[in-house]
């Protein structure tokens, strides 16, 4: 009887421990990976709500009835923009300290010499710098969502970053499209996945930094991956009957070592492509023509090369200086074009922002 009672208690204790583990794991998952429902509707004068605190200096205006105050906000909503066109330049992986310094100190001389034109704009007051702190995770997709919608990303977005879906929440890009803006995008293809069909012209590039041209079958690659057990991302240029999502989750291989290893196994058709130059060239090659066009209101340029340099060699990479200089030359090209258009009665503004590596 005593033995039976002990066995029963042990069983109950085991079941209770398992239940506690399941409850604890569930609480952790729900807290660490919260699911944020999409918000329906779009903002505008028709969705006016009285402000919680007065932002109008004239107290008589703030005391207007709600219907009259709504009409006032509608009039403010229809105020024409200060500039005719907006150029958004996203330099992926550019830390603020490279341009603005850190803790009240200016940037190091290496970075200042690499970006002389941008530093001259800041010093002369023709540009204004602002250091915005991004909430993790700092991968591309949640950062873009935060920029255009104000949404705070979660760690679950890291998984969604590999299979980006259209952004359904109210956002600036959709608002611009609804009021008739013509938008053009060159660079990271994540923009095209978040906002399908909204761009008049576009040329997207993959955000994965290493590519291999493989002349072997999907089954052979899969067997090599399973046998080697090496998991880092790889872009397979010619996959056979394989979706992008499966492709990016399945072929997680190391960089140059895998190319050498596959060659040693007899696959001499493997060609490695270091993606620090072409991804930016594919953006800049379109820039000259677009700056001369007059049919767009928003031009988005998303450069990936500097982020790729950071992933490959870190901030002290020998490629970092030339890449910063390249970005500085792009800023100079856009700024000089904006000054020329201003002389012709057209106003353009350039907004340069970055994510982090």
CB-based contact 34:154 (threshold 8 Å): yes
Q: Which domain holds residue 197?
A: 85-208+275-354
Which among 237, 254, 274 is the end of a domain?
Answer: 274
pLDDT at position 180 is 85
279 and 142 inside one domain: yes
Which among 274, 292, 310 is the end of a domain?
Answer: 274
Which one, of 159, 132, 161, 162, lies nearest residue 147 by Cα? 132
Instruction: Give, for all 357 residues of the chain, the pLDDT tens digit.
Output: 455 557 888 888 889 999 999 999 988 887 777 767 666 777 766 555 555 544 444 555 556 666 666 666 666 666 667 788 999 999 988 888 899 888 888 888 888 999 999 999 999 989 998 888 777 766 777 788 888 888 776 666 655 555 567 788 888 998 888 888 899 999 988 899 889 999 999 998 876 544 444 444 444 545 554 444 443 334 333 333 344 444 444 444 444 455 555 555 555 444 444 467 888 888 999 899 999 998 999 999 999 889 888 878 888 888 899 999 999 999 999 999 988 877 666 688 999 998 764
* β-pair type (210-213, 271-274): antiparallel
Please report whether residue 343 resides in a domain: yes
Which among 253, 274, 295 is the end of a domain?
Answer: 274
93 and 170 inside one domain: yes
pLDDT at position 243 is 44
175 and 232 inside one domain: no
Please report whether residue 321 resides in a domain: yes
Domain count, the chain: 2
CB-based contact 347:105 (threshold 8 Å): no
216 and 203 inside one domain: no
Q: What is the number of other CB atoms lying within 10 angstroms of the CB of residue 318?
A: 8
Strand ordering across the sheet containing 235-236: 235-236, 210-213, 271-274
223 and 144 inside one domain: no
191 and 315 inside one domain: yes
In angstroms, the CA 115 to CA 111 distance is 6
Please report whether residue 36 resides in a domain: no
pLDDT at position 97 is 87
147 and 294 inside one domain: yes
């Amino acid at each position: 009887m005593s033995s039976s009672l002990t066995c029963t208690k042990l069983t109950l204790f085991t079941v209770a421990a398992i239940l506690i583990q399941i409850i604890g794991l569930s609480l952790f998952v729900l807290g660490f990976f919260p699911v944020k429902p999409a918000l329906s509707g779009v903002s505008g004068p028709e969705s006016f709500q009285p402000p919680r605190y007065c932002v109008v200096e004239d107290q008589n205006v703030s005391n207007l009835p709600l219907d009259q105050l709504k009409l006032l906000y509608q009039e403010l909503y229809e105020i024409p923009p200060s500039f005719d066109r907006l150029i958004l330049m996203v330099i992926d992986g550019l830390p603020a300290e490279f341009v603005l310094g850190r803790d009240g100190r200016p940037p190091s001389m290496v970075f200042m010499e690499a970006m002389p034109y941008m530093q001259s704009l800041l010093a002369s007051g023709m540009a204004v710098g602002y250091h915005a702190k991004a909430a993790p995770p700092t991968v591309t997709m949640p950062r873009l969502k935060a920029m255009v919608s104000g949404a705070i990303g979660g760690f679950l977005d890291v998984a969604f970053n590999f299979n980006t879906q259209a952004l359904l929440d109210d956002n600036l890009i959709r608002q611009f499209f609804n009021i008739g803006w013509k938008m053009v995008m060159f660079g990271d293809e994540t923009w095209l996945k978040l906002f399908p069909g909204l761009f008049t012209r576009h040329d997207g590039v993959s955000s994965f930094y290493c590519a291999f041209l493989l002349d072997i079958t999907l089954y052979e690659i899969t067997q090599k991956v399973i046998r080697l057990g090496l998991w880092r991302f790889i872009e397979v240029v010619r996959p056979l009957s394989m979706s992008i999502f499966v492709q990016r989750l399945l072929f997680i291989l190391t960089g140059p070592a895998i190319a050498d290893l596959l060659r040693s196994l007899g696959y001499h058709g493997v060609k490695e492509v270091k993606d620090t130059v072409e991804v930016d060239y594919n953006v800049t090659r379109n820039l000259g023509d677009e700056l001369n066009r007059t049919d767009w209101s928003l031009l988005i340029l998303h450069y990936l090369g500097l982020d790729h340099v950071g992933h490959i060699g870190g901030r002290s990479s020998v490629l970092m200086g030339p890449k910063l200089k390249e970005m500085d030359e792009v800023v100079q090209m856009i700024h000089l074009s904006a000054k020329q258009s201003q002389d012709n009665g057209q106003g353009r503004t350039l907004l340069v922002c970055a994510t982090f590596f």
